[in-house]
Amino acid sequence: MGYSLGLYRFSDGELADFDMDLVRVVLSAVAAVPEGVIDSATEYWIRATDGSEAEVSVSGGLISVIRPEAGAVWKTVVELADRLRAAILLPDGRLLCRAEMRGQLPEGMEHDAVLVPETTLAAFERAAGPFTHPLT
């Protein structure tokens, strides 16, 4: 069974589009090339230096990371979330995001969010708990 992860960008409580230039910059470090556009989503296949891979789909204010393998590809996914100021939907339904984004979250979501100074792999692993261990 594969694991998927969602990254969301909010502005004034609504989904907001990602900066696609910044998406391309971050993903270029893992030799990502757009696989094409499917149903208005830009699809990428990324591979980290250790060979771990994931499929990434970007559509408006949602980035879906599909079947990320254990390994360094997780560092890229978390860096993408941090640089884009995106919230990561955790397996338990809470959002992990930078504290500065609290006021941008949809009404009611800010109370259950895990707010951190910056989105790091360590912060993600702490918040996600035993459900996922991205580096093992």
Tens of pLDDT, residue by residue over 2-26, are: 578 999 999 999 999 999 999 989 9
Q: How confident is the model at residue 42 (pLDDT cuts 50, 70, 90)?
A: confident
Residue 135: predicted pLDDT: 55
Inform me whether the pLDDT recorded for 38 exceeds 80. no
Three-state SS across the chain? CCCEEEEECEECCEECCCCHHHHHHHHHCCCCEEEEEECCEEEEEEECCCCCEEEEEEECCEEEEECCCCCCHHHHHHHHHHHHCCEEECCCCCEEEEHHHHHHCCCCHHHCCEEECCCCHHHHHHHHHHHCCCCC
Mean pLDDT, residues 24-43 taken together? 76
Residue/partner pairs of 91-98 with CB below 8 Å, 24 or more apart = 91/128, 91/129, 91/131, 91/132, 92/129, 92/131, 94/127, 95/8, 96/123, 96/124, 96/127, 96/128
Tens of pLDDT, residue by residue over 45-100, are: 999 999 999 999 999 889 999 988 888 999 999 999 999 999 999 888 899 999 99
Identify the bridge partners of residue 97 per DSSP, sorted by sequence position: 115
Residue 37: predicted pLDDT: 65
Which one is predicted more confidently, 35 or 11?
A: 11
